[in-house]
Structure 1
Amino acid sequence: MTERPTGATARLALAGDTMLGRGVAEEIGRHGTGALFSDGLRAELAAADAVFLNLECCVSDRGSRIPIPGKPFFFRAPPEAAEALAGLGVRAVTLANNHALDYGPEALLDTLDHLAAAGILTVGAGPDATAARAPATLTVGGLRLGLLGVTDHPAEYAAGPDRPGVAHADLTAGVPDWLTDALASLRQRVDVVLLFTHWGPNMVAEPVPHVRRVAPELLAAGASLIVGSSAHVFHGLTRRVLHDLGDFIDDYAVDPVLRNDRGVVVLTTLDAEGPRRTEALPVALDHAHVRLAAGLAHTWVTDRLTAACARLGAAGPRRSGDRLVWDWPPAD
């Protein structure tokens, strides 16, 4: 095991489902990428040492829709989307989700190339299973971070020995050995392990049973922090598990009850022992635009998140300005 640094910390900004295709792509074509993110949100992200998110689309101007019967949605962003993310401070993304392969292997490989050219690391997808399951490592704020990305659906998108695709793990059946081994091995080589999990169904109000069941197993295997996505609705958080961050930017229809147009960006300060401080910053999603939440939207997010966290045992956040804050004790 590598020697852990003393006193080094990193402040990370973590965002949820980022979909830059369809109506967002049309907005980019009309007006460029400058109007996608508000100035206030840009300032918040710029104050972090790095930004990580779930990129829920491919980035390419090639490929064709993958023929999966019954699949309703296909998302492809233009190549300039990669530079838009880099300009936001994004250092790495997970591609382990149900849209990375929407326009076939050609577009997925383009996505890897466009993101790499923009200086953005990727996890969770690749030209074969070995690459899709491989970690990314980087140094942020004096800490050596290791990143892994997995998705529990769809199995049809799973990378194979000679087939591009995503890092698929059927978490409904437990944690597969390859993922346990990958987490343990990575933990030996870095100070902090971030595991990005695309898990559970869309449009549910709270973590489903298999998500709750496998989260402790993933932590025990070596994850320092789990960053969840998939539901399009934010769920509660604990010190080491952000069950779902909901949507970050998209053009989606809005559910009037679940309100997938209201989300959170999590700012977490970590050291080699894990999270020390978690801040949840409410955001509001318009069509192809995301901004800091205000007024009734801000109240709705803070009230719902406080209640959701209390149900998971993370009660007691304090309000600090426009955000909820948890200051974690030195040890679990």
Structure 2
Amino acid sequence: MGGDLVTLFLAGDVMLGRGVDQILPYPGDPKLSESYIKDARAYVELAEAANGMIPLPVDFSWPWGDALDVLDAAAPDVRIFNLETAVTQNDETAPGKEIQYRMYPANLPGLAAARPHVCVLANNHVLDYGRRGLEETLDALADAGLRSAVAGRDTDEARRPAIAHVVGGRRVLVFSVGMASSGIPGNWAATAQRSGVDFVAEPSHAAAASIAALLRPAKRPGDIVVVSVHWGSNRGYHVPRHQLRFDHALIDGGADVVHGHSSHHPWPLESYRGKLITHGCGDLINDYEGIGGFEEYRDDLRLLYFVTLDQGDGRFHDVRTAPVRSRRMRLERATADDSRWVRDVLGGISRAYGSRGERNPDDTLIVRPSQGPWV
């Protein structure tokens, strides 16, 4: 390490639409076109049946709960979120898309409560309410002073990075792409004449080279470059070999951090040439509480990721994880037993990917770059 250190906060999926939107001060139209649930308030009822009544309407900070104190205590330089929700009043849904997430624009302070610097939008829900919904989302975020990455009114805008400035005049550049493997339809791709996201059909060498061609001319000495990728299956811990090759090509092409998301629970943390790859950060906020199945993955537990990097060479010093638990659609501090469970699972699945886990006294996990075994 030879330069100044910078700390990034990386979040997985932040889904403030559907049921979460219904508990906020200005709930939108709850009508849904899903096969089994036609009213978003049903998701609130499921959460209440599981863990108790929610004091409706909640204030804008409610979904974040104790996570706000954790964020403030860690004081990261840049906060990066995957915002997996359209912010719109448009009622026209995307053809062939059964599950839709929409947040009423007046509830946007529910996002601003966590003070994000960058909201990544290249995911499989940002166009749930069509291109008009995307336009409204972009306008709403801009009006709120929130930067967005990788969704836009045409190809150039969709591939343009969001830039966050840190002390000393240094910059953090955030690029992002959305892959078909996460459920993004191919016709959501931005073109010269059409709004959309920076879409990647598959994690190929050509796709990685195309992204790298954007990174090199944009990156100045001292910049940190984050490539945020929405990809892969919802559950499981196995990272496909073709995805690993794609990740490594992004690092070789100029990325300092690959910020992966889409999975409903955390996936391995990888150290590759001293750079960090998060294969899946898991959900952070959603309305899945009370829905049974896949309990072995404990997706009621969520992780906050604090990544410290060297601004001189972009290598990561460590990743400090802070587990929280979702109850009554609110994040609360995890118990000691829950923290140990997350520590053991995440540390165990990350060993094969060049990352060394260390136990904190509070039973949380610190991950450092190493080829050695987890201790």
Q: What TM-score results when the alignment is normalised by the length of structure 1?
A: 0.90
Aligned counterpart for 1:105 among listed residues 131, 138, 146? 131
What is the correspondence of 1:152-231 to structure 2 with a 5 Å cutoff?
A: 152-153=179-180, 154=184, 155-176=186-207, 177-188=209-220, 191-231=223-263
- Aligned-pair identity in percent equals 31
- Structure 2 Cα separation of the partners of residues 228 and 249 of structure 1: 16
- Structure 1 Cα separation of the partners of residues 167 and 339 of structure 2: 30
Q: CA deviation at 1:287?
A: 4.6
* 1:24 and 2:65 correspond: no
- Structure 2 Cα separation of the partners of residues 171 and 224 of structure 1: 21
| CA-to-aligned-CA distance 1:301-328 (integer Å, 9 cap, x gap) | 1111011111222123232425311355
Structure number with greater Rg is 2
Q: CA deviation at 1:91?
A: 0.7
Residue in 2 aligned with 1:3? Answer: none
Residue in 2 aligned with 1:309? Answer: 350
Contact 1:232 1:247 in 2 (8 A): yes
| Count of matched residue pairs | 322
User: Following TM superposition, where does structure 1 have runs of at least 4 consecutive aligned residues deviating by more than 4 angstroms?
Assistant: none
Residue in 2 aligned with 1:241? Answer: 277
Aligned counterpart for 2:9 among listed residues 1, 8, 13? 13
- Structure 2 Cα separation of the partners of residues 206 and 89 of structure 1: 33
Contact 1:235 1:246 in 2 (8 A): yes
Specify the code of the residue in structure 1 equivalent to 2:100.
F
Q: CA deviation at 1:85?
A: 2.1
Residue in 1 aligned with 2:40? Answer: none
Contact 1:237 1:312 in 2 (8 A): yes
Of 82-91 and 98-107, deviating more is 82-91
Specify the code of the residue in structure 2 equivalent to 1:295.
A
* 1:290 and 2:331 correspond: yes
Q: CA deviation at 1:175?
A: 4.2
Contact 2:303 2:324 in 1 (8 A): yes
Contact 1:101 1:108 in 2 (8 A): yes
| CA-to-aligned-CA distance 1:265-285 (integer Å, 9 cap, x gap) | 110112222222210111212
For residues 8 and 125 of structure 1, do their structure 2 counterparts lie closer, same or farther at Cα, with a shift above 3 Å needed? same
Q: CA deviation at 1:160?
A: 1.6
Specify the code of the residue in structure 1 equivalent to 2:334.
A
- Structure 2 Cα separation of the partners of residues 138 and 113 of structure 1: 19
Contact 2:204 2:246 in 1 (8 A): no
Residue in 2 aligned with 1:266? Answer: 305
Of 151-160 and 240-249, deviating more is 151-160
Please state whether the residue corresponding to 1:219 is helix, strand or coil. Answer: helix
Q: CA RMSD in A?
A: 2.0
Q: CA deviation at 1:258?
A: 2.1
Of 236-245 and 251-260, deviating more is 251-260
Residue in 1 aligned with 2:85? Answer: 57
Q: What TM-score results when the alignment is normalised by the length of structure 2?
A: 0.80
Residue in 1 aligned with 2:112? Answer: 86
- Structure 1 Cα separation of the partners of residues 107 and 8 of structure 2: 21
Q: What 5-or-longer segments of structure 1 have no aligned partner?
A: 1-5
Contact 1:263 1:301 in 2 (8 A): no
Please state whether the residue corresponding to 2:136 is helix, strand or coil. Answer: helix
Specify the code of the residue in structure 1 equivalent to 2:269.
L
- Structure 2 Cα separation of the partners of residues 23 and 247 of structure 1: 15
